[in-house]
Every structure is written in structure tokens, then in C-alpha cells.
Structure 1
Amino acid sequence: MTSTTNAIISQIVLLPTSLLLLMAAGCLLLAVRWRRSGWTLLLVGIGGLGVLSMPFTAQKMMHTLEQRSPVEPGLLAQAQAIVVLGGGIDPSQPEYAADTANSASLARIRYAAFLYRQHELPILVTGGNSTGGEADGWVMKRELETLFDVPVHWVETKSVNTAENAEFSWEILGPEGVHTIALLTQAWHMPRARQAFERAGFTVVPAPTVFHVEPVQGIMNFIPQADYLSMANTAIHEWVGMLWYRMTDGGRPASARPG
């Protein structure tokens, strides 16, 4: 499947499209007088949208993914390099006259700079661009070097998903004898990223960043909010991604599997 097809399927499966389609199906059934089925789908869609928008629900979902503690210095000392996964770019930003790292990528390179100051491990940045614009890798390299004064040793720019991040990073680092890496990405993304990189052949020292550690207090925990629907959607995306990787040998089609 093409990246466009994958994106369309993802949007149908994820929020809010899946629930909107469920509610639309309920309305159609009501229109043809299948009242019980129609009301069931409509109420499930509305209820799901409300529950998944609650801070309480979204936080619980996210905590199933997040490692609770940052990387231990002793474990980090075992790594031969830091690998930073691209999280996307903000294209053609007028104030910079250039593409810039989006909030996810910026959080990752900021933490990469922090770790580099402590351990001076060589850095690989990995990330392409499925739309044909400037690759995540080049943007992250530019900002690490110009904004944080941190050198980038390797740049990978062909990958368009986490499985390819791992595969193409191995193609660069494996021949150089770099097999143990500090893997740097958001805490919620770490389980799937670690799964992909270990499958590619790396020994992974997880170095997660951006933890969801501040719970919402009181009645606001149960008031639906748009930001928390997005958080729930992120958790669902990661669950589906991990399941897909297990079913497809790390995201590769059956024809690409070894043996």
C-alpha cells in the first residue's frame, strides 16, 4: 500500500473519524426505520466521543504506553550512539523562511542536546518526508547544529514510519559496529519504537522524553476536552501500530521478510 492509502486507512480507524462514521451509520439506519440498531450505533458513537475526550480516560490510556522513569545514567553509558526519531516538521514557516521542527521533533532534539552535553555520544537523526518536502532528518540536523550547537554525525532521510526509521538506521550504523543505541522519542511512542529497533537488530537503551505526569484534578477530570481526545487518539494509534508490527513482521510486507 502507498503512504497515502495507509494515511486514509489510519484516519478511518482513528478518532474522531471512526466515531463520526459510526454515528452517520446510526443516522442512516434511523432513516430507514431500523430504529433499535440506529439508536444503538448513534448512542455508542456519542458516548465514545464523550468518554474518550475525558482527561481521566485519556490519561489512563496514555499511561499504558509510557515508561515511568527517564533513562538511567548507568544504562546510557552502555550506548554507542543516540538515535533521534523525527516527529514531523512545520513546513515553510515565514518567520524563518524555512521548514522547522514541529513540537514533537523539537522536544526530541532538545532532549538529544541535553543528553549530548552529558555524554557526548554521536547522534543519528532519522526521518524522511512522505509528501516530498524537506526531510525531518535534515531539519533536525540543522536545528541541533544551529540552535543547540550540537553536532550530528549521521542523517537518515528515506524513512516515512517507525519501522523504516529502524531499518534504515541499521543500514547506517550496523556496518560501523554501532549496535547499542540510546533511542530517543516521546515516552508514549517508546514501546513501538523499541519493538521496531530491536527487531532491526539493535540493543536499545530507551531514552524517552515528554511524560504525561500531571493529572487533571477534580471534576475537570470528567469534562470532555478536545486536547484529551487527541491524547486518546495517540494512544489508540500506538496500540494499533504495535499490533500491526506484530502481524506483519515489524511493518514489512510478507514478501520482504527474511527466509
Structure 2
Amino acid sequence: MFFVLSKTLGHMMLPVNFLIGIGLAGLILLATRFASLGRKLAISALVLLAICAYSPLGNVLLYPLEARFPSWDAARGAPDGIIVLGGSIEADISAAHGTAVVRGAPDRIIGAAALALRYPNARVVFSGGSPNLISNDAREADYAGAIFESLGIAKSRLIMERGSRNTLENAEFSKALLAPKEGERWLLVTSAYHMPRSVGLFRKAGFSVEPYPVDWRVGGRGDLLAFTDVAVDGLGRTDLAVREWMGLIAYRATGKIDDLLPGPALK
């Protein structure tokens, strides 16, 4: 049920979808006796879309997520394994074309491959099924292996987890598949903005991981006042940030994570 709600109600509440819906409702009302309300809704939707598109709003919402965890400290030595979360490969499109199609967050795969080459004894786990509510049998993990092999990672080192549909299942299924032993050190590779939610869920699953953030979308504090002249970029960052905050709130409200904004473990 949680998965279905996230893919229906959750998507409807994303800023772009929500504001377009409000705008369309306003246009429809213009032809009724509620024309005054319709004008207000249409104008409000347009103004708010412009704010989402051109203002620093997306950066402001993303920055605290991306700044939550520092870059991984290699001084601690070689890890036992590397877990990279899905979200980069379009499984259905890959199936249609018979080859891996990477459309978003390629740094997750690139970063994990670079780590695997640096630490040749570390196992590499890709956790990713299909995030789509309605899909065919194609899964991200079905295509990730070929990408890693093309980047020089031996097939014998790869473990593919293809059943997970969201981050909660990434954590739970990875824990069940790997049964990590006491003292083992596992790196978790995912986008910096996604790391707080991911770490919180892995902790709740009883799987201790070391964050290895990649795929930053905000450069630093200076970007908190930076406007954009490319509407689709601003809208994308705003939607991305709101989706992540909605996920954190929902997981915290349902007890699936222990903190609203999980951070580095206390030492």
C-alpha cells in the first residue's frame, strides 16, 4: 500500500504536477459562474510555477539534504563491499532497445565502479528492480551487470538484487541477501540528496553502512541565492527536493526511519 500511495498520491503532490492541475482547474472554472476563482487559481499556479522554475527554491530545499553527510574518508581503509542503489537505469526502455539506457544519476554507477577498481577485493552489490507502478518484467539489475563489466569490473564480483522497488526494499532486501557479518564495512553509494533517507532506512533494517555520496545537484552555499534561466532545470530540482522531503516525512511518520533527517552516526 505504501508503494502504491507513493507512486500515485505522491506523484500528484509534486510541485509541477500539483500546480499544473491547479492551473487546469482554474481554466475550467473560467467557463463557469466561478470564473473569478478560476482566474485566481490560474494566476496563482503560473506565478508559483515561475518561482519553482527560476528561483533558488530547489537549491534551498536540496542543500540541507546534500550537506548532511561529508565525503567518505578513505583513510579508514578498504571496505568489504560496495552497495550501489538503483535509480540510474530505465529498465523498461532498456528492454525495448535491448541495451542498458542510463537516464539519470549516472554518478551512482560511475562512483561505484571507481571504488570497485580501487578496492579489488570488495564485493559489488547493485540493488534495483523497477520503481514503476505498472511495468514489464524488466529490472534495473538486469542491465547493471553489463555496465559494470564494461567498466572493468569482473562478473564474479557482482551481486545483483533485482526485487526492490523503492529505497525501503533496497535496504531490507540487501540485508537479507548479504547477511552482513559483525565488523564488515559496507559502503553505500547513492545520490547526495538521497543519502539521508537511504542511511535511515538501512539503519532501521539493522544494516550498518558507510555513506559514499555522489551526484550532487547543488554546488554549495553560494547556490542558495542563485537564480536559473533554464526553467526545466529549476523545476526538476524543486520536484526532486520536494519528493525527497515528502519521502522523509512519510517514512518518519510511519516509523520506517528513526529521525526526520538522519545524519552521521555519533561516535
Shift of 1:178: 7.2
In the TM superposition, what are the counterparts of 1:172-251 in structure 2 within 5 Å? 172-174=177-179, 180-214=185-219, 221=227, 223=229, 225-250=231-256
Q: Does 1:100 align with 2:106?
A: no
**What does residue 110 of structure 1 align with?**
110
Report the TM-score when normalising by structure 1: 0.82
**What does residue 156 of structure 1 align with?**
161
Q: Is the 8 A contact 1:194 1:206 kept in 2?
A: yes
Amino acid at match of 1:191: P
**What does residue 72 of structure 2 align with?**
71
Matches of 1:213 and 1:92 in 2, distance apart?
Answer: 28
**Residue 32 to residue 54, structure 1, CA distance change in 2 (3 Å):** same
**Residue 178 to residue 229, structure 1, CA distance change in 2 (3 Å):** farther
Amino acid at match of 1:7: K
Q: Does 1:128 align with 2:133?
A: no
Secondary structure at the counterpart of residue 217 of structure 2:
coil
Q: Give the paired residue count.
A: 248
Amino acid at match of 1:8: T
Matches of 1:222 and 1:142 in 2, distance apart?
Answer: 37
Q: Does 1:142 align with 2:143?
A: no
Amino acid at match of 2:161: E
Report the TM-score when normalising by structure 2: 0.79
Runs of 4+ in 1 over 6 A off after TM superposition: none
**Residue 158 to residue 167, structure 1, CA distance change in 2 (3 Å):** same
Overall identity of the aligned pairs, in %: 26
Shift of 1:64: 2.1
Q: Deviations over 1:157-201 (max 9, x none)?
A: 110000000000000122655764211011111111111111111
Matches of 2:253 and 2:172 in 1, distance apart?
Answer: 17
Q: How big is the alpha-carbon RMSD for the aligned residues of Structure 1 and Structure 2?
A: 3.1
User: What runs of 5+ residues in structure 1 fail to find an aligned partner?
Assistant: 252-259
Amino acid at match of 2:63: H
Q: Is the 8 A contact 2:84 2:189 kept in 1?
A: yes
Shift of 1:89: 2.3
Shift of 1:144: 0.5
Matches of 1:29 and 1:126 in 2, distance apart?
Answer: 46
User: What runs of 5+ residues in structure 2 fail to find an aligned partner?
Assistant: 258-267
Shift of 1:207: 0.3
Q: Is the 8 A contact 1:101 1:136 kept in 2?
A: no
Shift of 1:113: 1.3
Amino acid at match of 1:85: L
The structure with more strand, counted as a fraction of residues: 1
**Residue 17 to residue 84, structure 1, CA distance change in 2 (3 Å):** same
Shift of 1:7: 2.0
